[in-house]
Amino acid sequence: MASETPRILIVEDEAVVALDLTRRLSRLGYVVYGPADSGEEALRLARELSPDVVLMDIVLDGDMDGVDTAGRIREEQAMPVVFLTAHTDPETLRRAGGAGPYGYIIKPFEDRELAAALDIALYKSRMERRLRENEQWTSMTLHSLGEGVITADPNGLVRFANPMAESLLGVSAARLLGRDLATLYKTRRDTGECGLSDGPGPRDVALLCREDGSCLPVEQTFSPIVDDRGRALGTVLVFRDISRRRDGERALRESVDGLRRALTETVNALTVTSETRDPFTAGHQERVSRLAAALAGELGFSDEEREGVRMAGLVHDIGKIHVPSEILTKPEALSDMEMGIVRDHSTVGFDILKDVPFPWPLARMVLEHHERCDGSGYPAGLRREDMHPGSRILAVADVVEAMTAHRPYRSAWSLEHALEELAKGRGVLYDADVVDACLSLFDRGDFRF
């Protein structure tokens, strides 16, 4: 990087001119190196001192003149050169232009001309250096990315491809450059089918079809390249291999499916355990769960919420395992003490389930399924706003199934009678929306026990 005070190397084989330049440059505030009186000496000093600008006479003694020397300095060190010359003939200027000078000073000249030429050369040098550094950073970044990057011109011809793009495509950069991107980068829809995709969106998942016949799942992004006026300059494609992510997602899904199956079997086992003690209510929990799930769907619950309500229905009476069989199967009305024991089943069910890490609040729904909207239910006398939405559904499903099923102490009611009783409790005992959903389901014939 240049110091605050620019350093100028003088290359001039006439001692008087060299001395005059040294005085002028010092007076203008520059740090002066040299003078060098030959091309060979200029190369040596340029390597050792790294000046910010070389002020080079075109005519030098020796094997290399100023043009040859400037070309070597530019080639080796990308150092700016300003030519000093008294020769303005076309041939001299043509040769000098080939060396890539940053300016010319025609002898004789004034100090302001000298300062202006050097300031312009210094500015151009700083801008070029900054551009080179930016290009180096960009190149290093693109080459080290874990994503493939390809750019194409407005005609779709590849202009750049980073090493990861070569690797993912299985094609070397030499074979990519200048070829049509559409013929090199072919994808299929990631659906296991062979139909070509209609075109990728801003971020799309597809199967990349490589030249060796293999397919690779990739995530891809196509973005336009535009200038500051909005004119299209081409396209940049960024794509990445998502094979590992896909394998991880598949393994996770299989694990979740396995856990869900285990969960379902556990809930089924709990259901069987509770119902084997009361043959008169066998199947009650399964029927309640089906109606509860249907009601949840009718009310717009998500699939996951609906599954939670269904699971809660399967175990809502699990607490009855603490009730003696003789009470469960008693053919006449229960005493107050016996009724108290039966009513405890909601709390017992909650205690059984509360520490099981279900993905749904099953324990709470089991605890609340005998609560009523007006606060007349048990065990806590909750009102509608304090009950879980799933609990309000279970309350309706439980009472409808119970009224239409045979019990030791009474005969089964007809469905019409049960629904009439349900409607009487609408908005008082039972949630109005749930009651309406239940009546609608049976009225349309969309549900049967």
In Å, what is the CA distance from 224 to each residue of 152, 200, 234, 240, 339?
10, 13, 6, 18, 75
Report yes or no on 216 lying in a domain. yes
Q: Do 296 and 435 lie in a common domain? A: yes
pLDDT tens figures, 159-170: 999 999 998 998
Q: Do 226 and 292 lie in a common domain? A: no
Given this model, what pLDDT does residue 280 score? Answer: 58
Q: Do 225 and 256 lie in a common domain? A: no
Mean predicted lDDT score pLDDT of the chain: 86
Last residue of a domain, one of 97, 112, 142: 142
User: Structure tokens of 211?
Assistant: 């030249």
CATH number of the domain that residue 227 is part of: 3.30.450.20
Does residue 382 register a pLDDT over 80? yes
Q: Do 380 and 253 lie in a common domain? A: yes
Does residue 1 register a pLDDT over 60? no
Given this model, what pLDDT does residue 203 score? Answer: 61
Band (pLDDT 50/70/90 cuts) for residue 104 is: confident
Report yes or no on 449 lying in a domain. no
Q: Do 130 and 177 lie in a common domain? A: no
Three-state SS annotation for the chain: CCCCCCEEEEECCCHHHHHHHHHHHHHCCCEEEEEECEHHHHHHHHHHHCCCEEEEECCCECCCCHHHHHHHHHHHHCCCEEEEECCCCHHHHHHHHHCCCCEEEECCCCHHHHHHHHHHHHHHHHHHHHHHHHHHHHHHHHHHCCCEEEEECCCCEEEEECHHHHHHHCCCHHHHCCCEHHHHCEEEECCCCCCECCCCCCCEEEEEECCCCCEEEEEEEEEEEECCCCCEEEEEEEEEECHHHHHHHHHHHHHHHHHHHHHHHHHHHHHHHHHCCCHHHCCHHHHHHHHHHHHHHHCCCCHHHHHHHHHHHHHCCHHHHHCCHHHHCCCCCCCHHHHHHHHCHHHHHHHHHCCCCCCCCHHHHHHHCCCCCECCCCCCCCEHHHCCHHHHHHHHHHHHHHHCCCECCECCCCHHHHHHHHHHCECCCECHHHHHHHHHHHHHCCCCC
Q: What is the C-alpha separation between 371 and 110, in angstroms, rounded?
A: 103
Residue 222, φ and ψ in degrees, nearest 5: -105, 125
Report yes or no on 1 lying in a domain. no
Last residue of a domain, one of 241, 269, 289: 241
In Å, what is the CA distance from 158 to each residue of 154, 176, 196, 392?
10, 6, 21, 63
> What's the CA angle centered on 133, arms 129 and 137, to 5 degrees?
170
Q: Do 159 and 27 lie in a common domain? A: no
Residue 136, φ and ψ in degrees, nearest 5: -65, -45
Band (pLDDT 50/70/90 cuts) for residue 196 is: very low
Q: Do 322 and 237 lie in a common domain? A: no
Q: What is the C-alpha separation between 188 and 194, in angstroms, rounded?
A: 6
Lowest mean pLDDT among 33-47, 90-104, 194-208, 254-268: 194-208
Comparing CA positions, the residue from 448, 449, 409, 403 lying closest to residue 425 is: 403
CATH number of the domain that residue 56 is part of: 3.40.50.2300
Question: What is the mean pLDDT of the segment spanning 87-97?
Answer: 73
Comparing CA positions, the residue from 393, 379, 361, 240 lying closest to residue 319 is: 379
Q: Do 196 and 277 lie in a common domain? A: no
Given this model, what pLDDT does residue 282 score? Answer: 65
Report yes or no on 2 lying in a domain. no
pLDDT tens figures, 111-130: 999 999 999 999 998 898 88
Question: What is the mean pLDDT of the segment spanning 184-206?
Answer: 62
The whole domain housing 310 covers: 248-444
Does residue 277 register a pLDDT over 70? no
Report yes or no on 285 lying in a domain. yes
Band (pLDDT 50/70/90 cuts) for residue 409 is: low
Given this model, what pLDDT does residue 2 score? Answer: 43
Report yes or no on 371 lying in a domain. yes
Lowest mean pLDDT among 130-134, 176-180, 201-205: 201-205
Q: Do 96 and 225 lie in a common domain? A: no
CATH number of the domain that residue 347 is part of: 1.10.3210.10
Q: Do 389 and 356 lie in a common domain? A: yes
Band (pLDDT 50/70/90 cuts) for residue 192 is: very low
Comparing CA positions, the residue from 412, 419, 418 lying closest to residue 436 is: 419
| Higher local confidence (pLDDT), 232 or 32 | 32
Provide the domain count of the chain: 3
pTM across the whole model: 0.51
Last residue of a domain, one of 224, 241, 258: 241
Given this model, what pLDDT does residue 275 score? Answer: 66
Given this model, what pLDDT does residue 281 score? Answer: 62
Q: Do 188 and 265 lie in a common domain? A: no
Q: Do 84 and 126 lie in a common domain? A: yes
